[in-house]
Every structure is written in C-alpha cells, then in structure tokens.
Amino acid sequence: MSPRHTSPRPGHAPAPEQIDMIACVLQSGGSLQTAAAAAAVSKDVLDSWLALGAQVLDRPPRAGRRLPALEEACAALAARARMEMARTEAACLEAIRRSAVEGETVRETVRVVDEAGNVVKETSTTKQAAPQWKAAVWWLEHVLPDQWGGKGAEAQACGPVRLTIVPDPGPTAAGGCESEQEFHKPA
C-alpha cells in the first residue's frame, strides 16, 4: 500500500437531484455521512465525487475545452458543498458570537384559555439574557486554537488563560446597555 491514499475515481456522476439533496443536507448543518445517505450513495462514493470535484476546481481551467460529464458534475457538487458548508459555518459562528457578545432575546407568551379553548388573556414578556461566556470561550478555542486552544507554544509557555466577564450594569443614560468584557492572559 502506498503511503499516500487517494480516493478511487467514481464510476458514475452525481445526478442533479443528488447534488441538490447533498447541498440541502449540508446547508442545514448535516454531516457528509448524512448527506451521502440522503442522496442514496455510500460515504466513499460521496468522498470520491468531492475529491474529483476539488481536483477539477483547483486546477487551472483548460481554454476552449469542455470538461467530461463526470468531472463537470463532480466539480458542480464540490462547489455547492464548499459553499453550503461555508455558509453553515458562518451562520454557526455568528450565533456563537451573538450569544457571547449580546446574549439571547427570550420571549415568553402565556395564554389563558376558557373551557371552550378560547384565548381569554394573552401576556408576552421579552427578556434579554446575559452574554454567555462559554460561547466566547468556545469561539476562541476553536477559531483561534494557536492562541486560545492550549496547543500553541505561547499558550503552553504562559499557562492557562483566565477569562473574566464583567456583568452588564443595566441600562445606560442613552437607553441602551453597555457590557464590558475583559480577556486576561497571565504574563
């Protein structure tokens, strides 16, 4: 066995419906394993399609030459997969950032109904939850692992990192809320 493993060349091209299904699963945050199952192919087949598609996308275009159907379909799949995975990643990171910096808006609605099931009274309350320090730590550890994941030379040299969140003091004179967050690294 050679030290460098490459995916076998796929025997057939992904159908447009399969490309759409795979993209849909990836867009919703599903794994490649789930995307393969939804498209009724094995994970190995999906991996080979994506590998071939990545090769096609990453090489210089051939002027005046049309790609073979297999390469064209695999390139379309790889491009869609890259795009959907990047969009999902961005949405997840934005949700973590928002939770870490702004907190979450929590809305609660209480309905009082009579015996016939008619709504007699409805009260809604909206509260702003405090920023979540765990979301900030997760983001730092996963997006900047060399600085905050404990694996980089700097992190190993200076020891553990302490994160201090100063709670929101309440509404300011301007009507908004100010929140101060301090990140300390020991010297």
Query: How far is Cα 87 from Cα 168, in angstroms, rounded to an integer?
Result: 31
96 within a domain of the structure (yes/no):
yes
Are 11 and 20 within 8 A, CB to CB?
no
* Same-domain status, 21 and 94: yes
Are 131 and 101 within 8 A, CB to CB?
yes
CB-count exposure of residue 138 (10 Å: 0-12, 13-18, 19+): middle
Query: How far is Cα 6 from Cα 185, in angstroms, rounded to an integer?
Result: 43
| The pLDDT value given to residue 100 | 83
78 within a domain of the structure (yes/no):
yes
| The pLDDT value given to residue 154 | 46
Going residue by residue through the chain, which has 187 residues, state the pLDDT in tens, using 9 for 90 and above: 444 444 456 789 999 999 999 999 999 989 999 999 999 999 999 999 999 999 999 998 887 888 899 999 999 999 999 999 999 888 888 888 888 888 888 889 999 999 999 999 999 999 888 888 888 788 788 877 888 886 544 444 445 545 455 555 555 444 443 434 444 444 4
Q: What's 144-184 look like in SS3?
A: CHHHHCCCCHHHHHHCCCEEEEECCCCECCCCCECCEEEEE
| The pLDDT value given to residue 8 | 54
CA distances from 141 to 29, 74, 147, 151, 166 (A): 20, 34, 8, 10, 20
Query: How far is Cα 141 from Cα 160, in angstroms, rounded to an integer?
Result: 12
Backbone angles phi, psi at 56, to 5 degrees: -65, -45
What is the domain count for the chain?
2
Are 147 and 157 within 8 A, CB to CB?
no
| The pLDDT value given to residue 183 | 44
pTM: 0.58
Q: Among the three residues 47, 80, 101, which one is the final residue of a domain in this structure?
A: 101
Residue 127's DSSP bridge partners are: 106
33 within a domain of the structure (yes/no):
yes
Which of 102, 154, 155 shows the shortest CA–CA distance to 129? 102
3 within a domain of the structure (yes/no):
no
173: containing domain: 105-184
